[in-house]
């Protein structure tokens, strides 16, 4: 990565941190904000608060990416994403009923993914192809640090009032829009597809791109279990308060964040396939172990999961960039986010249903085995791609 580009990439990382920190604040207080506030009894129904938000990610990821490719700009989408998210997050505190809360949450998700998808695509616009792993590592570090610190901080202030995390999130998102408008360079992309249809043809032209999409799906699928089911497991099974829940989530997210850049750099040097395969297999075992281990051993499992998860994420995102036509990067990363968001959307609800019908242990076993299954299914294709490199 050229030195002159470092400041821009780090700015994108900071903006990603603000976005993820803001949207993660609410998760440790799901029980108080959703279950108790609206008298919800089931884990699955409560998890809809997470799932509908991520359903919007699925629907709008590819749309925003294609539009940005066509227009040839990213900055305006990032600003709009932060502003819209801020307004909608505040509106959640005013929702009078569960159906209205879910409707507002869906709209909020459309703005969240607008900002995140454009931040991710902007990395590919700036760095060289041989440094995609490093660039995605910096962005992944901002994402994971935001998630890691947002959860425990949201748990702390949520103990005072469950609405406080949303108030703070709205303020921080407004700040993100202001920072973007002042400091982020507005790049005019040189290469644009002829039409939205032309951009979307990427998915038919380069079928191998569905490999990183599948890993994006399964990785986000398991994260859905962590944000939707894991806090409820700790609260209901072990009687933990929101502050303790936030700290357990941080045990996973902090090592996941800190290792993004170094492990992304490794994928630039040795290729995407080895860290992606090894990371996926170990991560699947770690996720399955979450339902089996009990405190305090659970902390060790969470830390290990964060380490091997960091081995998996940067090479999958970088591989999507490797396979993308430069004129269709927004579409390519939109697709990456779409599949990831689909996993994130169905993860909490499926995890909640399994937990309701069977147990929390069964829920995390299914999540972990899904990761391992995807890694094994795509292993022959990945080995073939690695040999052709």
Please determine, for residue 179, whether its predicted confidence score (pLDDT) is greater than 70. Answer: yes
For the residues 279-294, what does the mean pLDDT come to? 96
- The residue among 29, 144, 150, 22 whose CA lies nearest residue 87 is 22
Residue 84 has pLDDT above 60, yes or no: yes
- Token pair in block for residue 9: 């990439």
Give yes or no for residue 2 having a pLDDT over 60.
no
pLDDT in tens, 40-67: 888 778 878 877 887 888 888 878 888 8
Read off the pLDDT of each residue in 59-86 and give the average, rounded to a whole number: 89
Instruction: List, as own/partner pairs, every contact residues 6-9 make where C-beta atoms lie below 8 angstroms and the sequence separation is at least 24, other chains included.
Output: 8/126, 8/184, 8/185, 9/123, 9/126, 9/127, 9/135, 9/138, 9/139
Domains and CATH numbers, the chain: 3-388 (1.20.1250.20)
Higher pLDDT, 188 or 250: 250
Query: What would the pLDDT profile of 326-364 be if each residue is shown by its tens digit?
Result: 777 777 887 887 888 788 778 888 998 999 999 999 999
Task: Considering only residues 71 and 262, tell me which one the structure prediction assigns the higher pLDDT.
Answer: 262
**Does 388 have pLDDT greater than 80?**
no
Place 194 in a pLDDT band, splitting at 50, 70 and 90: very low
Instruction: Give pLDDT, residue 191.
Output: 53
């Amino acid at each position: 990565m050229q030195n002159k580009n470092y400041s821009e990439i780090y700015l994108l990382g900071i903006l990603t941190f603000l976005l993820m920190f803001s949207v993660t604040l609410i998760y440790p207080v799901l029980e108080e904000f959703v279950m108790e506030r609206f008298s919800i009894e089931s884990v699955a129904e409560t998890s809809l608060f997470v799932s509908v938000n991520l359903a919007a990610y699925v629907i709008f990821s590819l749309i925003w990416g294609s539009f940005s490719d066509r227009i040839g700009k990213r900055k305006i989408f990032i600003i709009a994403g932060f502003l819209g998210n801020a307004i909608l997050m505040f509106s959640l505190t005013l929702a009078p009923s569960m159906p209205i809360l879910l409707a507002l949450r869906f709209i909020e998700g459309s703005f969240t993914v607008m900002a995140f998808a454009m931040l991710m695509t902007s990395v590919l616009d700036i760095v060289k192809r041989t440094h995609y792993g490093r660039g995605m590592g910096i962005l992944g570090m901002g994402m994971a640090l935001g998630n890691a610190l947002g959860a425990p901080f949201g748990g702390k202030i949520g103990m005072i009032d469950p609405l406080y995390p949303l108030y703070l999130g709205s303020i921080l998102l407004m700040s993100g829009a202001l920072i973007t408008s002042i400091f982020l360079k507005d790049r005019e992309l040189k290469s644009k597809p002829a039409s939205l249809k032309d951009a979307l043809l990427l998915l038919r032209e380069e079928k191998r791109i569905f490999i990183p999409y599948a890993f994006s799906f399964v990785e986000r699928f398991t994260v859905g279990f962590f944000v939707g089911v894991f806090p409820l497991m700790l609260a209901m099974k072990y009687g933990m308060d929101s502050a303790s829940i936030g700290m357990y989530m941080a045990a996973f997210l902090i090592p996941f964040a800190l290792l993004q850049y170094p492990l992304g750099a490794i994928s630039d040097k040795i290729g995407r396939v080895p860290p992606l395969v090894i990371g996926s297999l170990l991560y699947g075992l770690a996720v399955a172990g979450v339902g089996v281990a009990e405190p305090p051993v659970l902390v060790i499992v969470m830390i290990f999961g964060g380490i091997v998860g960091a081995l998996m994420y940067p090479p999958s995102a970088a591989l999507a960039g490797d396979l993308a036509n430069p004129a269709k990067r927004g579409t390519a990363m939109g697709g990456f986010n779409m599949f990831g968001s689909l996993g994130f959307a169905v993860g909490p609800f499926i995890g909640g249903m399994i937990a309701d019908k069977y147990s929390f242990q069964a829920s995390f076993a299914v999540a972990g085995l899904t990761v391992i299954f995807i890694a094994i299914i795509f292993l022959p294709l990945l080995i073939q791609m690695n040999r052709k490199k």
